[in-house]
Structure 1
Amino acid sequence: MRAVVITVSDRSAAGTRADTSGPVAVTALRDAGWECHDAVVVPDGADSVAQAITDAVASGARLVVTTGGTGLGPRDRTPEGTAGVLSRQVPGIAEELRRLGAAEKPAGMLSRGLAGVIETDGGGSLVVNLPGSERAVRTGVPVIVSVARHVVDQLAGGDH
């Protein structure tokens, strides 16, 4: 199955800061058996996030993981862009990611990341927002991988 990682960062998109969290997510997904190209980097903002997720799903990705833009900064709009393209939210995934983040450091509870599905003809895709830190990605990708194939199977009509 194919996955796409989207790094959301004005500075990385402008080339003024290296993307460090996207490659961590890509490696973790590849290690878990997902086909995954290098991370796509887009600037902060709801519209750029929504477009990147839509493009990923249209390209056949069954799992889309975003990193960055989940905080409270003025340009942190990843959840808003994600919400605009989801068919249904899966709050338990986001809740678990926040729980684990807060256990590592209190600021982890400030992540506004979402998780949900985009339904398509013949199935659909799981979309999950992670914070932009390498640590959050290292903690979060195993959670996502633990349920992603089951979610994709259910979207295609598989049994519970």
Structure 2
Amino acid sequence: MIPARVITVSDRCHAGTAEDLSGPLAARLLAEHGVEASVTVIPDEVEAIRAAITSAAASGVRLVFTTGGTGLSPRDVTPEATEPLLATRIDGLADAIRRRGEENVASAALSRGLVGVTARSDAGALVVNAPGSRGGVTDAVAVIGPLVAHIIDQLAGGDHPRA
């Protein structure tokens, strides 16, 4: 199993006024792809998001999957918190997640979520910013899930598969 952390970014869930539906869903869907993830809930605050991602990567997880905070509201700051932590961005995957969502919901194009890799001194961790909706999480895992083992292998210096 690939060790991972799901980080739900939500003021309401953190305060206990709403139930976290997207984080547990992400963990369940990722498990279908060989990923074992714990779920953490934090508020929509840049420093809290950065600390959670940094702590997760430092703990040895290979995938940090955030859910929430990728929209346009003033409290949606997950991409701003994530960007300085990424040594390498994987814009093609972020775009693929948006395209997948647009098949069902036009507003999926508004997601500003990033995908990338943290500093690679120790192979790095893959970071995925997914929207906070259950549909957004489902779309993100549908794109990332089939690739996650290959990505983690590549980060560790693995060879490309031969046809």
SS across alignment from 2:97: helix
Could you tell me which amino acid in structure 2 is paired with residue 156 of structure 1? Answer: A
Moved more, 75-84 or 97-106: 97-106
TM-score by length of 1: 0.95
Question: Which consecutive segments of 4 or more residues in structure 1 shift more than 4 A?
Answer: none
- Number of matched residues? 159
TM-score normalised over the length of structure 2: 0.93
Report deviation, 1:42: 0.5
Distance in 1, Cα, partners of 2:96 & 2:141: 12
* TM-aligned CA deviation for residue 20 of structure 1: 0.6
Equivalent residues in 2 for 1:4-153, closer than 5 Å: 4-37=5-38, 39-153=39-153
Deviation at 1:119, TM superposition (A): 3.1
Gaps in structure 2 of 5+ consecutive residues: none
Whichever residue aligns with residue 23 of structure 2, its letter is G
Once the two structures are superposed, residues 42-80 of structure 1 have per-residue CA deviations (whole angstroms, 9 ceiling, x without a partner) of 000222111111011111110111000000001100001
Unaligned runs of 5+ in 1: none
Corresponding position: 1:156 with 2:156? yes
SS at match of 2:124: strand
Percent identity between matched residues is 50
Deviation digits for residues 1-51 of structure 1, max 9, x if unmatched?
2011000000101111110100100111122221222x1000002221111
Aligned equivalents of 2:157 and 2:119: distance in 1?
11
Q: 2:151 is paired with a residue of what secondary structure?
A: helix
What is the identity, as a one-letter code, of the residue corresponding to 1:129?
Answer: N
The residue type paired with residue 145 of structure 1 is G
Counterpart contact for 1:93–1:144, Cα < 8 Å:
yes
What are the superposed Cα offsets for residues 112-152 of structure 1, whole Å, 9 maximum, x if unpaired?
Answer: 00000013434121100000001111121121112111111
Work out whether residues 3 and 29 of structure 1, in 8 Å CA contact, stay in contact via their aligned partners in 2: no
Distance 1:158 1:122 in 2: 14
